[in-house]
Amino acid sequence: MTFLNDAWNWLNHAAHWHGSGGIPMRILQHLGYSGVVLLIAMVIALPLGVMIGHTGRGTVVVSTLANVGRAIPTLGLLVLLAVFLTFSPLAWIIPLVALAVPPILVNAYEGVAGVDREVRDAARGMGMTGWQRLVKVEVPVAMPLIVLGLRTAAIFVVATVTIIAYIGLGGLGRYIIDGLASYRYGPVAGGALVVIVLALAVQALFVGLSRLLVPAGLREQARHGKTELPT
């Protein structure tokens, strides 16, 4: 078991846990980059996806983004922007935001657009305005998919922040890129193991978050299977 062995040996050096290049610092950097990117992507994609789902206008944008988004070569975009923008943070922010926007947008759209007709009509029948229906009914009902979109984006971003070390930035990818460049497998394995654990922790965090954000009524429904209206 070379990978785990080497990773373990490297992680067991106290020196790797201290200072500006230490593991805790690198984890914070990694989460910092990821947080900035996710926040920007959310600000762009959530309102857009929810509004397209609510109004039904602009659905072409969603299907195009869903298809194009996956094909974007993040490494290519990253190095291209790094050549032109050198030290600007936009060089890493743009490709990572481009990676995070499609899953958030598509899921927010599908969640809101997929709200049952009966539910929409009931809200309208209760005298709710368009805005009230959106905020009090459609968004809460769409919450499971909205959180799923955020989770997918977070997973993509935390994973991909690893490669921005290639253009000279920090984060956990630093250990992998530097180790590969100097033919030392210890830091490569150690860095990879830490980033894997971090990715799993972020995923677990979002699974927990969906428990918190999904309205109690929907959770009840999920537990008992979709309730069918008597006809």
Partner 1 sequence: MTWSWIPANSGEILSLTAKNALLGVVPALIGLAISLPLGIACVRWGWLYPPALSGVNILYALPSLAVFVALQPYFEVETDPPVIIALTVFSLCVLLPSVVDGLRAVPEHVRQSATAMGFGPLRRLTQVEMPLAAPVIIGGLRVATVSSISLASVGQLIGVSSLGYLFIDGYQRAFPTEIYVGITLLIILAAAADLLLVLSRWWLTAWRRGDAGEAGVT
Tell the smallest beta-carbon distance from residue 131 to partner 1 (Å): 32
Q: Which stretch binds partner 1 (CB under 8 A): 35-43, 116-124, 132-140, 180-188?
A: 180-188
Tell the smallest beta-carbon distance from residue 129 to partner 1 (Å): 33
> Around Cβ 103, how many Cβ atoms within 10 Å?
26
Indicate which single residue of 14, 57, 84, 125 sits in contact with partner 1 (rule: CB under 8 A): 84
Residue 199 as a binder of partner 1 (CB under 8 A): the answer is yes
Tokens linked to 36: 């900035």
Tokens linked to 199: 């990715």
CA distance 49 to 136: 17
Tokens 């610092």 correspond to: 25
Residue 162 as a binder of partner 1 (CB under 8 A): the answer is yes
SS3 category, 43: helix
CA distance 228 to 206: 29
Indicate which single residue of 47, 56, 73, 114 sits in contact with partner 1 (rule: CB under 8 A): 73
Tell the smallest beta-carbon distance from residue 88 to partner 1 (Å): 15
Of the candidates 166, 218, 216, 223, the one whose C-alpha atom is nearest the C-alpha of residue 191 is: 166
Residue 8 as a binder of partner 1 (CB under 8 A): the answer is no
Residue 107 as a binder of partner 1 (CB under 8 A): the answer is no
Residue 11 as a binder of partner 1 (CB under 8 A): the answer is no
CA distance 171 to 163: 9
Residue 100 as a binder of partner 1 (CB under 8 A): the answer is no
Tokens linked to 44: 């762009």
Report yes or no: 80 and 169 within 8 Å, Cβ to Cβ: no
8, burial (CB in 10 Å: exposed 0-12, middle 13-18, buried 19+)? middle
CA angle 76, 44, 49 (to 5 degrees): 110
Tell the smallest beta-carbon distance from residue 8 to partner 1 (Å): 13
Q: Which is nearer to partner 1, 94 or 202 (CB)?
A: 202
Q: Which is nearer to partner 1, 9 or 129 (CB)?
A: 9
Residues that bind partner 1 (CB under 8 A): 2-3, 6, 67, 70-77, 79-80, 82-84, 155, 158-160, 162-163, 166-167, 173, 176-177, 180, 185, 188-189, 191-193, 195-196, 199-200, 202-203
